[in-house]
Structure 1
Amino acid sequence: MVAHGLLVKATGTVFTGLVGVSAYEVLRKAVGKAPVHRAAVTATEWGLRGTRRAEVAAEAARLKVADVVAEARDRIGDDASLSVDPVGDDCCS
């Protein structure tokens, strides 16, 4: 009884897979290779443009925050530059 139910489920899964593969192959042959490649290149181009815009916006925001912090340090009389102790830095020695 359990084997019969498992066989029915497996048959349905195999049939669904065959239908999906067949539909994919028909669509691939009908559309052709070039349009799919062009669409992939276009989508990647949009992604790269979006990433570039996000990087520019993030850098602008970082610079604005740095300006605010520098002005606030200047107002309280603190040196706005960060002091680095080259002797105490053992990173690359």
Structure 2
Amino acid sequence: MIALLGKVGSTLVTGLVGAAAWDGVKKAADSGAVREGAVAAVAVGLKGKRHLEAGAERVRLTTGDIVAEARERVGEQAPPPGSDVGHGHDH
């Protein structure tokens, strides 16, 4: 009987803690704190994405310059930027 009362008490405490936690989540959602946090996280992600894209573009341009200079050194004429020379298939 004492073991049963211990289990009932434990279940009751777990339920009360869960209900309190749920009320806290509802209050936070109603106050806009959750939305504000989500907006801030997405804003940081967008800034990071822009930074990575800018870095990738710098790498692409630098690589193009290096390839063009290497072709020039071996006497090859570099194709003009944006040309389809050597593309290999039709669109």
Q: TM-score, normalised by structure 1?
A: 0.63
For residues 20 and 53 of structure 1, do their structure 2 counterparts lie closer, same or farther at Cα, with a shift above 3 Å needed?
Answer: farther
What is the match of residue 63 of structure 2? 65
Kindly indicate whether structure 1 or structure 2 has the higher relative contact order, using CA contacts under 8 Å at least 6 residues apart: 1
CA contact (8 A) 2:71 2:78 kept: yes
Q: Provide structure 2 residue ranges, at least 5 long, that are not aligned to the other structure.
A: 1-10
Q: In structure 1, what residue type is equivalent to 2:25? A: R
SS of 2:46's equivalent? helix
What is the match of residue 39 of structure 2? 41
Cα distance in 2 for residues equivalent to 1:72 and 1:51: 31
Superposed, 1:12-51 pairs within 5 Å as 22=19, 24-33=21-30, 34-51=32-49
For residues 25 and 73 of structure 1, do their structure 2 counterparts lie closer, same or farther at Cα, with a shift above 3 Å needed?
Answer: same
Q: TM-score, normalised by structure 2?
A: 0.64
CA contact (8 A) 2:29 2:35 kept: no
Q: Provide structure 1 residue ranges, at least 5 long, that are not aligned to the other structure.
A: 1-14
The structural deviation recorded for 1:25 is 1.5
SS of 1:77's equivalent? coil
- The root-mean-square deviation of aligned C-alpha atoms, in Å, is 2.9
Q: In structure 1, what residue type is equivalent to 2:73? A: R
Paired residues in the alignment total 76
Cα distance in 1 for residues equivalent to 2:38 and 2:29: 13
Percent identical pairs in the alignment equals: 35
